[in-house]
Chains A and B, each alone.
Chain A
Amino acid sequence: MSEIKSMEHATLKVPYEVINKKFRVAQKSVDREVDQIQNYSKEVEKALMHRPVISDVSKLVGNVVQRLQVLKRKSDEAIGDELNASFICKRKLEHLKEIVQRDSNTSEEVWQASIDQWKRVRMDRMVIEHLLRMGYYETAERLANYSDIRHLTNLDIFHTSREVEEDLAAHKTTKCILWCLDNKSKLRKINSNIEFDLRVQEFVELIRKNQRTEAVVHARKYFPAFEKTQIKEICECMALLAYQPDTTIEPYRSLFDINRWNNLVLKFRNENYRLFQLSAQSLLSIAVQAGLSSLKTPHCYSFNCKNLNCPVCQEDFNRIAKTLPYSHCVQSRLICRITGLPLNEHNLPMMLPNGQIFGQLAIPEITKENGTVLCPITNTKFTNPKIEKVFVM
């Protein structure tokens, strides 16, 4: 196996980003509680300054003790979350490790079996990742459960994304806005303007409902934050105040277009992947294209040379592979089309009078008792033909 370094980045990076996030959440939660406790203890200190009554001080100190219990519970919870996220990452790492380290006691056959098994799991993992990217959540879910590999997928991580997408599909921005706030600093780092797009959509919807005053209030509240980068869009937006939703004038028609919601779903999905630093294409689609290219030969596209076992010769892949490059080959690799056996010194290539080449071992199969030979490719009959040896270097 030599495919881990090239293909498993996301397997580890996505759960790592979750650890990182849990870390930040934990820090925030601890700091917030510590601040609270400090506020309460300041109150005690304030009380202490003026010859305080014991029972008052006891009450205030009691408050501090109570907050300490809250801190204890919250920090334990938050660090527990950090640990769980780390263990999820660790489990994936263990799965990768399984296949790079061969126990010297395992027999060749057992090792082959383990590799075969691991590759099947990898394929399901890749398919699930692709399905998630396409938004086919239910299929991904079912497949993960069926193949019992949920712990090796990112299904749980993308559970929130599903909720956000469903919310957007129902023409609601609430969950997506929450997601934006939740990931504010990271989104800024990747220069995402999805929050602006959402605010624009909210503005458009207010106008669609003819709540123009509310729209102005909305604009005043949210648009100034984006003045520096989106001033042109903001102006276009504001101009909407003067148009009706059924306008045919661009760019206002497009702004009113209900399809913008679908684009928001796609945009959200895309930004979410960027947040996790995942590549723009799914690993599956990259692997499928690389695979098709390495299998693709000119035979796959010539009318009578197809081999039905060849994936590229099969209709669906044949169409997908149409624009992809062919495999590269500097060494001839010849296979007899009748027996499927390699053509070499044990099975010399022989030429029929029509130029078709078959292995020596296949000639008896196509020769009848009376000496006629039938070419299985062109269906031509030859009577006692001259069959010549061919030399391939």
Chain B
Amino acid sequence: MTSNTPAAELEAITAVEKELDRVINKFSEIRENAAAEINDVASLLEELLQVLARAEQEMTGTINTGTQVDADDHMTDEAEMLVEMEPSTPRLTDSQISIITEALQKTNEKLQRLSSEHRELHGAVSKVGKVIDRNFISDFTATTRTDALQDEENIMLLNKVMAKHYCRQGMDDVAQLLIKESKMPEDMAREVFESERSFAEIFRIWKAIQQHDLSLALEWTSRYSNELIAKNSTLEFKLHRLAFLQIISKGISAQAEAIAYARNNFHKFIDRFEQEIPNLMGCFIYLPTGIENSPYKHLISPEMWTEASYIFLKDACHTLGISKNSALSVVINAGCTALPALLNIKQVMQSRQVLNIWSGRDELPIEIDLDPEYRYHSIFACPILRQQTTEDNPPKKLTCGHVISNDALHKLSNGHILKCPYCPVEQNAEEAVRIYF
């Protein structure tokens, strides 16, 4: 089993890339080759046509003069008889015939070769498919115990969740279309638009930043300047920095504008960014030769926009106390983390001849290592039974303060007497109390 390390992922991609590049090269080669070969034979035949045309002209010419000159001679030769009878239809000589035959043969050979050369590409093409199949997983059976999304009602609920997600981003028309195309019941559709709307503005600004438009973002941050400073956010500075760099990238003609921008906007960041601001001012040295050729070139790389939009999304959501991810995106991202692990355990279990990884379970077969921000509930796993507690098997606090599950408590107690497995306190098992996390 190859684990899904970044190296293994890169290897998989590189393997496909190698085969695909080979196919692309071969296609380009054969495209050029085909054009050249066809031109070759075409011009050969065209030349031949010219030769024939010339021969035809010459022959009609000689025949005409010939008839005049030899008018009185007796013509016994059959061929000459023919010429005389049909003076306007010159015929091919044997050598001309063989030249034409040869040219046609050559044409056919070349075209056959062209066709078989193309056919030979099949191997290279299907190799791409094989490498994809070998390096990427296409079989997802058994990663779910039952397919909950076969159920019509659940399918519609998922449509609703999707519509909510796009509505949350302010993409109301996408949500509307989905409602229409999925024939969503009216009461459900209504709920879609009742959901939280404050994220839509954030999302619109986020998109604008990605399109290198900072005006909306700067307006928003100035509105929430105090809250952002209280949270020690770097957002406002980073946006002004980008705006400054946007001006300075215009070159020497924008020098005065850039100086004015710096003077007007950087003063309030001097304390917090005392290292960064001199760096930015250093850009002025390189203005004549261009920032892109200076030690500061990283400041104007396209990633700076991705970063700014990301920080905006994060800090703005934090400021408003809303989640930067919708329910749908949390679930999908959790699923994308879980799937490689589930596929992995499936393969391990199949190699041990365990056919059904779900047999009788109401739990995933493995623990999924989710981001801490995706942990919404306390989970208490009994340290004795290594099992999550449930309503039927709740956590109990022993008199000594240690917590174990109810089932473990019964297993460990002898009559009413229980010896705590973590401290030597002997106690009455019935004094343990049910607790709630």
Contacts and interface: CB of A to CB of B under 8 A. Distances in A.
Contacts of B370: 294-295
Interface stretch (A55-63, A169-177, A187-195, A264-272): A55-63
Given A5-B135, A6-B340, A65 B45 contact: yes
B187 interface: no
B118 to A, nearest CB: 6
A292 B148 CA distance: 11
A392 B377 contact: no
A188 to B, nearest CB: 18
Contacts of A314: 327
A319 B140 CA distance: 23
Contacts of A122: 336
B27 A76 contact: no
A93 B24 CA distance: 14
Which of B180, B331, B388 is packed against the most chain A CB atoms within 10 Å?
A: B331
Given A9-B132, A12-B132, A41-B108, A290 B339 contact: yes
B145 A325 contact: yes
B247 interface: no
Interface in B146-165: 146-149, 153-155, 157-162, 164
A13 B24 contact: no
A89 B383 CA distance: 50
A385 interface: no
Interface in B299-348: 303-304, 306-307, 309-311, 313, 323, 327-340, 342-343
Interface in A243-302: 277-279, 281, 283-295, 297-300, 302
A225 to B, nearest CB: 28
A285 B149 contact: yes
Nearest to A301: B391
B378 A333 contact: yes
B322 to A, nearest CB: 10
A328 B298 contact: no
A30 B114 contact: yes
B367 A329 contact: yes
A137 B116 CA distance: 40
A38 to B, nearest CB: 6
B66 interface: no
Interface stretch (B9-17, B69-77, B274-282): B9-17
A290 B341 CA distance: 10
Interface in B391-412: 391, 397, 400-403
B194 interface: no
B90 interface: yes
A297 B45 contact: no
B228 interface: no
B167 to A, nearest CB: 13
Contact of B92 (A45, A57, A326, A327): A57
A54 B55 contact: yes
Contacts of B342: 290
A3 B8 CA distance: 11
A313 B104 CA distance: 78
A117 B339 CA distance: 20
A322 B35 CA distance: 63
A377 B180 CA distance: 41
Given A291-B332, A335-B377, A390-B397, A377 B403 contact: no
Given A52-B91, A79-B30, A325 B364 contact: yes
A371 interface: no
Contact of A65 (B31, B49, B52, B377): B49
A6 B5 CA distance: 12
A196 interface: no
Contact of A109 (B12, B45, B307): B307
Interface SS of A by simple majority: helix
A23 B122 contact: yes
Interface in A71-124: 71-72, 75-76, 79-80, 82-83, 86-87, 89-90, 93, 96-97, 100-101, 105-107, 109-110, 112-114, 116-117, 119-120, 122-123
A20 interface: yes
B115 A30 contact: yes
Contact of B174 (A112, A134, A142, A289): A142
Interface in B96-135: 96-97, 100-101, 104, 107-108, 111-112, 114-115, 118-119, 121-122, 125-126, 128-129, 132-133, 135
Nearest to A113: B310
Contacts of B244: none
Contact of B107 (A37, A76, A113): A37
A119 B313 CA distance: 14
B363 to A, nearest CB: 5
How many residues of A sit at the interface, in one of the four size bands? 35 or more
B42 A97 contact: no
B23 interface: yes
Interface in A141-166: 142-143, 146
B42 A68 contact: yes
Contact of B403 (A93, A305, A325, A392): A392
A377 B435 CA distance: 13
Contacts of B12: 4-5
A106 B303 contact: yes
A242 interface: no
Contacts of A89: 20, 128
B379 A329 contact: yes
A61 B137 contact: no
A58 B52 contact: yes
Given A57-B52, A110-B306, A279-B140, A327 B397 contact: no
B13 A93 contact: yes
Contacts of A393: 383, 402-403, 422
Interface stretch (A200-208, A229-237, A350-358): A350-358
B123 to A, nearest CB: 11
A370 to B, nearest CB: 25
Contact of A9 (B136, B311, B361): B136
Contact of A12 (B16, B42, B53, B162): B16
Contact of B376 (A310, A330, A392): A310
B252 interface: no
B92 A48 contact: yes
Given A2-B4, A5-B136, A281-B147, A83 B28 contact: yes
A13 B166 CA distance: 28
Contacts of B155: 134
Contact of A297 (B180, B303, B379): B379
Nearest to B107: A41
B155 to A, nearest CB: 8
A287 B149 contact: no
B111 A34 contact: yes
Contact of A302 (B35, B173, B363, B391): B391
Interface string A1-44: 11111111110110011011001001100110010011001001
Nearest to B305: A113
Given A57-B92, A317-B327, A324-B146, 7 more contacts: A2-B340, A52-B97, A55-B56, A287-B331, A316-B161, A327-B379, A393-B402
10 contacts: A2-B6, A4-B9, A5-B8, A45-B101, A61-B52, A64-B45, A79-B34, A139-B178, A142-B177, A311-B328
Q: Across chains A and B, which 10 residue pairs bring their CB atoms closest together, nearest first?
A: A291-B335, A113-B310, A287-B335, A310-B376, A9-B136, A2-B4, A291-B334, A311-B327, A294-B368, A291-B331
